[in-house]
Chains A and B, each alone.
Chain A
Amino acid sequence: MTDATAPSPRGTEELEGTVFDIGYQRYVGPREGRNRARWAVYKDGLRLALGLGRGARAKVIPWFFITLLGVIGLIMALIAGAVNTYIGPNAAEALDLPSHSDYYGIASIVFFVFAAVGAPEMLCPDRKDGVINLYLVRPLTGSDYVSARWLAFFTVMVSVAWLPQLILLAGLSLSNANPGDYLLENWLDIPRLLTAGLAMAAYTTSLAMFVASFTTRRAYASVFLVGLFVITAPFTTGLAAELAEDFENTAGQWVSMFNLSNIPVHVNDLIFDDVSLITSVAPAGEFSGWVLVGWYFLWTLVPAGLLWMRYRKLTP
């Protein structure tokens, strides 16, 4: 017990207060179990991915990439807006300037590098620091943990995928003399860009987190993922071109399928029913839509499933 005596503001009386140490109090409030635990890990995942509640250094990388992706969308919107304003209404469309269907193709490398840098943050530090052991002795299983982390990163990736597209949509509609008419004429772009964004985010999240689950060092996972996404592109493109000259085109097409940065962009092309800039030269684009969609699901669901199985084994 501590007695605290202080002069009154008027200086004429003395106020006396007593602070009691009531000792340890048992917790009698609600215990919300597994759902609360999952939600807590999900929220923590969002904070980790965006560097929220951390120092400035933790915020630099995610917000640099988010800004960069937004700027790409903004530049596309400004160019289209300028063309529509100075050349004439719908001139951007008539000139076939890059639009919603091209955005994911143009920004995919930035998007993949962001995933390569961000996904290891979701899993590696918890294993490196041993925090995973503290999670798993609480009302949370290994699969709960990894599902919550996957969803958290997926949420960030979806937001990052949609935000520039929405900037572009706003730019295109506002540069039109009648924005309402533009939206009515191009309303189909909205579900398309949302679906394509989901596809991009699911693919990158699954693949990046699966790779991150093999190491406790964030840098190793990031370097490997950047290599996987960025280096497979020129390698497979060159090899596919060589094979196309020497053999039947099918071999080149299959090599081109291993260009990991193009896999979700092919799906984007199918969703928009248009060929984007980077896939227009890819031999894999000649495969039927079913093959491309199947290939996408293989590269999305298999890593996600293997990731889930690796963590499920941590608890009986």
Chain B
Amino acid sequence: MTALLTAENLTKHYDDVIALDGVSFEISEGITGVLGENGAGKSTAFKIFLGLLRPTSGTATILGENASESVAVRSRLGYMPEHDCLPSTVSAAEFLTHLAEVSGLPPTRARIRAADTLRHTGLFEERYRAMGGYSTGMKQRVKLAQALVHDPTIVFLDEPTAGLDPVGREEMLALVRKTHREFGISVLFSSHLMVDVERTCDRIIVLRGGRLVQSGEMEEFTKDTETVFIEVDDNRDRLVVALEERGVLVTSDGHGLCIEGSDESVYDKIRAALVESEAPLRRMAPRKGELTELFRLDGEADPENGKAT
């Protein structure tokens, strides 16, 4: 699969602060999540690929062009910023038409694209109202619509669910999935919310302190682990003793217990321990990996192995 976006030894310094430190990765078609704590370098990486910043060293290539040098390539990029970016006195239809023209579309086509994009993002009925009167959810939709209005090849979404209530968040995540699966536009999605990324993205890259620490397919991070998770209604302590007597390694995890090993002998031991301790079983399942664990780990992955293709 051809890389849409490539970072090669990308480094960015702000005076003494190192925002990105020799990061290398490739991103191909699909929905890619960019994870990292505040100051991890996510926004800096976005800004370099969008042509708003020049890297201190290294190369950022997007759609085959150097991101810092090609202005033309930006007609194929979309960007939804995290912060407010909508004028309150203008209607969504007028605003999108104008931004489509700024992206290089002729006026008539821009008007048609604006109406189509607002329909696809669920704002068709409200398109002639001034945006100052929109709800937060509607504003987020306009922000997404303006990023899509010129039909980009890749769109950068910076915290698209920020400030949304649970229903609005669900709808926004559905729109993000639709953006790739129905519209065919690749997505680079930055978020602090692991659940959003886990449910939306095909692959992730994880930055920490300006360095790439993990990258790969989402399945690799969320597949079944070698741990069995069980939850009982009563006699939890007796169960732990019974398991330890059978030589099983048990750790406590909230209300449940995590038992290392997933072969059949472990399940036999659990069954015997449950019977002996008379603990009523509520739930037992192989534990799935979670993205939050990436941030509990102290060790860093090999930056050389940084492909998210």
Contacts of B15 in A (CB 8 A): none
Query: Please, how many angstroms separate the alpha-carbon atoms of A31 and B120 in the complex?
Result: 22
Q: Is A129 an interface residue (CB 8 A)?
A: yes
Measured CB to CB, the closest approach of chain A to B3, in angstroms, equals: 20
List A residues 90-133 near B (Cβ within 8 Å).
125, 129-131, 133
| Interface residues as binary, B262-279 with A (CB distance below 8 Å gives 1, 0 otherwise) | 000000000000000000
Q: Are A41 and B102 in contact (CB under 8 A)?
A: yes
Q: Are A130 and B81 in contact (CB under 8 A)?
A: yes
Pick from A24, A25, A34 the residue with the most CB of B within 10 Å.
Answer: A24
Q: Are A36 and B101 in contact (CB under 8 A)?
A: yes
Measured CB to CB, the closest approach of chain A to B61, in angstroms, equals: 15
Q: Are A32 and B71 in contact (CB under 8 A)?
A: no
Query: Please, how many angstroms separate the alpha-carbon atoms of A31 and B104 in the complex?
Result: 5
Contacts of B141 in A (CB 8 A): none
Contacts of A10 in B (CB 8 A): none
Q: Is A9 an interface residue (CB 8 A)?
A: no
- Option from B68, B74, B76, B150 in Cβ contact (under 8 Å) with A316: B68
- Option from B81, B105, B146 in Cβ contact (under 8 Å) with A31: B105
Interface size class on chain B is 35 or more
Query: Please, how many angstroms separate the alpha-carbon atoms of A23 and B104 in the complex?
Result: 23
Query: Please, how many angstroms separate the alpha-carbon atoms of A32 and B110 in the complex?
Result: 12
Q: Are A129 and B109 in contact (CB under 8 A)?
A: no
Q: Is A29 an interface residue (CB 8 A)?
A: yes
Q: Is B298 an interface residue (CB 8 A)?
A: no
Measured CB to CB, the closest approach of chain A to B98, in angstroms, equals: 6
Contacts of A17 in B (CB 8 A): none
Q: Is B285 an interface residue (CB 8 A)?
A: no
Measured CB to CB, the closest approach of chain A to B84, in angstroms, equals: 5
Query: Please, how many angstroms separate the alpha-carbon atoms of A39 and B110 in the complex?
Result: 14
Query: Please, how many angstroms separate the alpha-carbon atoms of A7 and B264 in the complex?
Result: 70
Interface size class on chain A is 35 or more
Q: Are A129 and B88 in contact (CB under 8 A)?
A: yes
Q: Are B54 and A44 in contact (CB under 8 A)?
A: no
Q: Are A40 and B102 in contact (CB under 8 A)?
A: yes
Contacts of A129 in B (CB 8 A): 84-88
Query: Please, how many angstroms separate the alpha-carbon atoms of A40 and B75 in the complex?
Result: 14
Contacts of A23 in B (CB 8 A): 182
Q: Are A137 and B54 in contact (CB under 8 A)?
A: no
- Option from A41, A125, A130, A138 in Cβ contact (under 8 Å) with B83: A130
Q: Are B104 and A137 in contact (CB under 8 A)?
A: no
Q: Are A316 and B54 in contact (CB under 8 A)?
A: yes
**Considering only CB atoms, which chain B residue lies closest to A316 in the complex?**
B54
Q: Is B184 an interface residue (CB 8 A)?
A: yes
Q: Is B50 an interface residue (CB 8 A)?
A: yes
Q: Are A137 and B89 in contact (CB under 8 A)?
A: no
Query: Please, how many angstroms separate the alpha-carbon atoms of A29 and B104 in the complex?
Result: 10
Q: Are B105 and A32 in contact (CB under 8 A)?
A: yes
Q: B-contacting residues of A (Cβ < 8 Å)?
A: 23-27, 29-34, 36-37, 39-41, 44, 53-55, 58, 125, 129-131, 133-141, 314-316
Q: A-contacting residues of B (Cβ < 8 Å)?
A: 50-54, 68, 71-72, 74-77, 79, 81, 83-90, 94, 98-99, 101-106, 109, 113, 116, 120, 146, 150-151, 182-184
7 pairs, A vs B, C-beta closer than 8 Å? A33-B72, A33-B104, A134-B146, A137-B52, A139-B104, A316-B52, A316-B68
